[in-house]
Amino acid sequence: MEQKFVTPPNHFGFHAARLFGEQGLLLDGSVAYIEPGGGGPEPAHTHETDHLFYVIEGELAVRCGGETITIRAGEARRVPGAVPHATQNPGAQIAKVLGLTVAPARGDA
């Protein structure tokens, strides 16, 4: 996903890029530092809520259903909780990841 950075009106020395739009009800959030090769859970799990991952540094591989999605620094991705999923840091540096828990939108569940 190509990000377009802009300077909002009345700002200076400030460049912002929209990462995602409306995602539903935000329930909580945390920051994770994932060592190279680290991740989890194993085995993959499911639950009622979704994840919204934003990678601050490094990269995060998410096994979701039958595919693996790689999220790189500066990228965000929503992962449906109803689909079996697990994460792993495939990189050589610690991955810094913001993880938000999001309630599925009505009609998604």
Is residue 56 in some structural domain?
yes
Number of domains in the chain: 1
Whether the pLDDT of residue 108 is over 50: the answer is: no
Is residue 107 in some structural domain?
no
Is residue 11 in some structural domain?
no
What is the model's pLDDT at position 3? Answer: 65
What is the model's pLDDT at position 22? Answer: 76
pLDDT in tens, 9-56: 888 888 888 777 777 788 999 999 999 999 999 999 999 999 999 999
19, 80, 93, 102, 109 from 22: Cα distances, Å = 10, 15, 31, 11, 16
What is the model's pLDDT at position 105? Answer: 64
Is residue 21 in some structural domain?
no
Is residue 3 in some structural domain?
no
Number of C-beta neighbours around residue 33 at 10 A = 13
Q: Classify burial at 89, counting beta carbons within 10 Å of its beta carbon; exposed 0-12, middle 13-18, buried 19 or more.
A: buried
Query: Checking DSSP bridges between strand 76-79 and strand 50-57, what pairing results, if any?
Result: antiparallel
Is residue 92 in some structural domain?
yes
Short-list 55, 66, 63, CA closest to 93: 55
Domain ranges, residue 41: 26-102
Q: What is the pTM of this model?
A: 0.82
CATH number where 73 lies: 2.60.120.10
**Contact between residue 75 and residue 98 where contact means Cβ atoms under 8 Å apart:** no
Is residue 36 in some structural domain?
yes
Is residue 6 in some structural domain?
no
Most distant CA pair in the chain, distance: 49
